[in-house]
Structures are given as C-alpha cells and as structure tokens.
Structure 1
Amino acid sequence: MKTRYPFALASTLLGLLLFTSCTNLKSAVYFNNIKNTEFSKKIEQLEPIIQPNDLLNISVSSLNPAASEIFNVSSSSTFRNASATSSISQVAGYLVDTDGYIQFPFLGNIKAAGLTKKEFQNVIKASITEQKLLLDPIIDVRYLNYKVSVLGEVARPSVLTVPNEKLTLLEALGLAGDLTIYASRNNLLLIREEGGKKTLTRIDLTTDELFTSPYYYLKSNDIIYVEPNKTKIANASAARQWLPIVLSSLTLVVVSIDRLSR
C-alpha cells in the first residue's frame, strides 16, 4: 500500500495545476447570453478613403468601345502579395504616389488621395466629359491591395487580401482560424489609419455591441490585434517559476517515501 503514496501525491499535484489553469467559460464564449434578436439599427458602412500607396484598378467604358480602350491601358505596378506566398508580383494598376496623385492617360496627374471611390470616379468622369473625349463615360474604380492584418491569439496570424472590398470583423477572425482559447475576447484592439491619422479602438466580443458598431465592417489596412488573456499570462509565468520547484519537490518526496517503504 505504501508504494501507492507517490502516485497519489503526484496525481493530487497534477490535479491542482490543471484546476488553477482552467479558463472561465464566460470569458471564452462570444456574445454571452444573447437570445433571438433582430437589430433594426443600420450598421454604418463608411466607404474607405483613397490613400497614398493604394493600388487602384480603373476601367472606362462607353457606347464607343474603341474610343474607351485608350483609357484602359494602365501601367504595371510592383507590390507585395502578402496573403499567399509573400512574393513580389507585377500587377496592372495605378499606384497612388506619395503626393496622392496618379498618372492617367490623356488626363495627366489626377489627385486621388483623400477621396472616396465614388468621388474619384466622378472626378475622372467630369474630366473626360469636359474635354469631350467620350460621351457618357462609365468609370469603375476598385482596390487591388485591399487587405486586413490579424495578429495575436488566433490560429493563423496573417495578412488577408479582400477581393470584394467588404469584410466583417468576424469574417476576418474566421479566415485567421478563429481566436484561440487563450484569446482575450473582451479587449480586441483595432488599429485604423486614415488620412495619416491612426485611431486605436477596443472591441468587446462578449457582448452584442459589435453588431451595431461602426467597426463591424473593416476597412483596408485595418490591423486587428488579439491580446492573450490573463490565464495564458498567468500560466506562462507560473510554469516558468513553479514547474522546476514542483518537479524537484516531487522527486524528493518520491525518493524519500520509497526509502521509508523499504
């Protein structure tokens, strides 16, 4: 019977360690205590502002396809496709320079930075119409480098490219493999830069506030940082400090009991 004491002691110590490392259920669940709900408030979808270093695809069409074609020969710009292999790729598009301009065929330098896509489309359309280059032109502007970064306590931290220019915070977390069990769900950090100004916003995923928040939809170049929760920090700290002591003590107890049992 005496030989069982070391194993019982080891089991007890292991159980205590596991008990102290348990994560509170409420802190690990999204949107606690939410029942069937319909949100009538319209979520604000602010159109992103074009910024320097944005890569744009601009297409022009009209009733005269041949005349429109001369506006659709864009230059090739080099940029880093960070969502896949992080390799350098040549992409046909217009790179907004550091002064906020692009060089457009027949129209020359056009200021793009500081405008929404719709505003920029109207600027190009007005210039073409005023110079009588096309009749009733249709302008389409799309981002080629619309991306969002997800960092921290997620399964796959990554930079996500968004071809449809529309992504919710929850979709971004899903594409990054979801939050880990050690993620702080009530204190996500959203970093957003517009017009040279950075804003930092804290987001709580344990409530339903996100569904009516202006941060429900993300914008290009947004960065989401997911902090580790107190459990992970405490476990990491405690493991470093106590594990060597516990193992040494356990070894000493086992050796002592073994000698006394002989």
Structure 2
Amino acid sequence: MKIKIFIFIILNSILLSSCIGVKKLKYLQPSENLQLNQYGLIPVAYEKYRIKKDDILTMTLITSDENAAKFLTNENTTYFKGGTNPNDGRLRTGGLIVDPNGYITIYGLGEFYVYGLTLSEVTDLVQAKLNQVLYNEGKAEVRMNIGSIKYYMVGEVSNPGEKIEQSNRIDLLQAIAKSGDLTRFADRRHIRIIREYPEGKKNITLDITRDDILNSPYFYLQSGDQVIIDPLKEKISGLGGGTTLGDATQFLSLGMQAIATYVFFKSL
C-alpha cells in the first residue's frame, strides 16, 4: 500500500512540475496598474529617440522654390510619394547613413554630427544650414526621420535573427508576430531588451502577460534593440510540459528511476 502511495506521489509531482500554466502563456492579461486617460483610452508613451551610429535617416524637403532642391543629387534623391513631376518641389533623399564617427553628409550642405541627438535637434541643424544656403529663411522646410528600424530577436522565438522594419515605429508585440511568435517555452514575464545610449547600454525587462505593458515607454522598439527571450525553468529542468513522445518518455524514465531507487533502499 505504501509503495502505491509513493508511486502516486512521484508521478503526480512529475506531472505537476511539467505543466506550464495558462498565466505564463497568455498575452496582455488584465492588470490593476493599467492607466487610462480621461477618454478611457491607453495613452501612448514613447522614449525620445537619440541617433545611433549606422542609423539610416531620411530627409524630406518641402518647398515651392525650384532652386531649393538643387543641392540634392539624382543619385540620392527620389520623388516624394512616387511623384514624377520634378517641379512639384517635394523631394526626399534615399537615405543618409550615420557613419562610424557619428556624421551624416548631405550633398550641398556638408557634414553634420548627429550621434546622440534627437530627430528634432538634427532637423534644426539641417534647417539652419539650409536657410544659410538659400539666403532666405522660409524658402524650404526640412523634416528628418528614421528610414528604418533594425532590431534583433534571439532566444525562444520561432524565427530569430536580424529584423528590419521599413517604417519608423514598431512595438514589441508586432516584432514578436513578425518573428513567428514565441515558443511554448518562452518566459513571457521576463523579456529583456538591451538598448544602446550614447552613455552606454541599458537592460530593460518587460512582462507581456500584463496589459499595463502598454503604458511602458519601452513597449516601442528602437533601432539597434536586442530582444532576448529567455526560456522558462520548465525547459531548463527538462520538464517542459510537452506533448511529444520524447517528453513522455522522459517523464516515464524519471518515474521509473524514482521507483527503482525506492525499491532498492526498501530491500536493504
């Protein structure tokens, strides 16, 4: 009788330890800490972006002066929104790469040190130089932006690797979706983001099982972010709660080893 009870306890412990609860897998579960605005909506929070080396910036020029865009070369210029009229005055460059020293070069305007600056600060620098070239402030308006976001997904994700988003905004859930979703072993409560700043790197931890993550300024990725998805302890211990034949064999083997150990010491 005692051995039956012991066997039951051993097998039950193995099964319980192999289970991954729904709360560990479900995204955006209700949280009391979720903050809403006066309209009952979730306010969007962004961390102000600061330019990094190897970033690709885009420059949009809006002007009615035909001479205002002459400093742009044909090689690095495309018509804005697919326009075909060279006199419409709405042009933008194909991409301004921030070099290893932190500079961008704009033909006709020169070099600009942009590393660590915000987009608005870079816009002000280029606008001031453009006004000098045109000899008349207000002839053209410059708008600087991020051309694309390059980030990295590693760990318990279906499709890890370098990712490039051809826009200037992507949130963490969108990045996960574009990577084929997380595996069943992913620790959704401790997703780490390594973010680079001019002063150094920061390790950020987010919990995507709670809906109050939507209030976090780190919910939106920035170019250069490294998203690390660590495994749950169930995978590390080998008791992953799986449904595969290999998992079932492993559970049975552990149970048989425990029973054999008990019988051996019982017979002494």
TM-score (norm 2): 0.69
1:126 alignment partner AA = A
Distance in 1 between the 2:74 and 2:130 partners?
A: 15
Could you say what secondary structure the match of 2:43 adopts? coil
Distance in 2 between the 1:92 and 1:168 partners?
A: 25
CA contact (8 A) 1:42 1:212 kept: yes
1:100 alignment partner AA = G
Instruction: Specify every segment of 5 or more residues in structure 1 that has no aligned partner in the other structure, as ranges.
Output: 1-12, 77-90, 254-262
Distance in 1 between the 2:211 and 2:250 partners?
A: 40
1:173 alignment partner AA = I
> CA 1:137/1:171 → structure 2, altered by over 3 Å: closer, same or farther?
same
Please report the RMSD computed on the Cα atoms of aligned residues, expressed in angstroms.
3.5
> CA 1:51/1:116 → structure 2, altered by over 3 Å: closer, same or farther?
same
Instruction: Specify every segment of 5 or more residues in structure 2 that has no aligned partner in the other structure, as ranges.
Output: 1-9, 78-92, 241-245, 261-268
Give the drift of 1:245: 9.6
Could you say what secondary structure the match of 2:105 adopts? strand
Residues 171-250 of structure 1: pairs in structure 2 closer than 5 A: 171-235=174-238, 243=250, 246=253
Kindly tell me the number of residue pairs found equivalent between the two proteins: 222
Give the drift of 1:175: 1.1
CA contact (8 A) 1:74 1:93 kept: no
Give the drift of 1:157: 1.3
Structure 2 match to 1:84: none
> CA 1:236/1:14 → structure 2, altered by over 3 Å: closer, same or farther?
closer
1:27 alignment partner AA = K
Structure 1 match to 2:60: 59
Could you say what secondary structure the match of 2:111 adopts? strand
> CA 1:244/1:200 → structure 2, altered by over 3 Å: closer, same or farther?
closer
Give the drift of 1:100: 1.6
Per-residue deviation, residues 62-81 of structure 1 (Å, max 9, x unmatched): 112344143254659xxxxx
Structure 1 match to 2:49: 48
Match 2:25 to one of 9, 28, 47: 28
Distance in 1 between the 2:114 and 2:64 partners?
A: 26
CA contact (8 A) 2:157 2:181 kept: yes
CA contact (8 A) 1:183 1:227 kept: yes
Structure 2 match to 1:147: 150
2:117 alignment partner AA = L
Give the drift of 1:153: 0.9
Structure 1 match to 2:111: 109
Distance in 2 between the 1:244 and 1:211 partners?
A: 39
